[in-house]
Amino acid sequence: MIKVIRHYSYWVALVITLLVVLQSIFSYYQISRTNQFIAQLNQGKDIDPEQLKQAAPELQLARASYLKNKHRYKEAQASLSQIINQGSQKMQAISRFNLGNAYLSEAIELAEAMQINEATALASLAKQSYRHALALDSGYWDAKYNLELAMRLLPEMDRIVMEKDDPIPEKKAKLWATVPGFPRGLP
């Protein structure tokens, strides 16, 4: 009786070991394939969107970064919007940060082209994305820095809109009152 139990326990252990090995091989294949696609994106070659179905969020994030660098902002934003709630909390924060970067980059280009209304809306979306990233990871310094940048960009654009649209002269504010933070120095 003990020999039979021992015999079956060996077979069960062998089957479990075989399943673990097969699962490890499959995981290795998926990681290797994802790394090949990311290397392809780093070389400047795009990936067919059909290949991204069921892909890891990291690959979709890499493709969105590729699209942003090619100034294809709408496609990058759409790609990031698909993965914004996938993965770990850290991955979600990174996705929202990159979405904010796509909005901010497009806003800066539009502001330079003097399309202020569109740039203002995109800068607001960028600020919102950075705030969401910070809500998920309060120590995310890159998101804090870019949020500050977006907050500084937006008042400048508001000032340009007011100068163009409002012919009524207003009192100019003192410079120290418009700079964020508390003044330092002599009273």
pLDDT in tens, 117-127: 888 888 888 89
For residue 155, what pLDDT band results from cuts at 50, 70 and 90? Answer: low
Between residues 170 and 41, the one the model is more confident about:
41
Residue 128 has pLDDT above 50, yes or no: yes
Q: Which of 54, 78, 53 is nearest to 68 (CA)?
A: 78
Q: Which residues contact 135 (CB under 8 A, 6 or more apart)?
A: none
Q: Which of 27, 80, 26, 28 is nearest to 58 (CA)?
A: 80
pLDDT at residue 156, as a whole number = 53
Residue 162 has pLDDT above 70, yes or no: no
pLDDT at residue 180, as a whole number = 53
* For the chain, counts of helices (H) and of strands (E): 7, 0
Query: Could you give the 3-state DSSP secondary structure of residue 134?
Result: helix
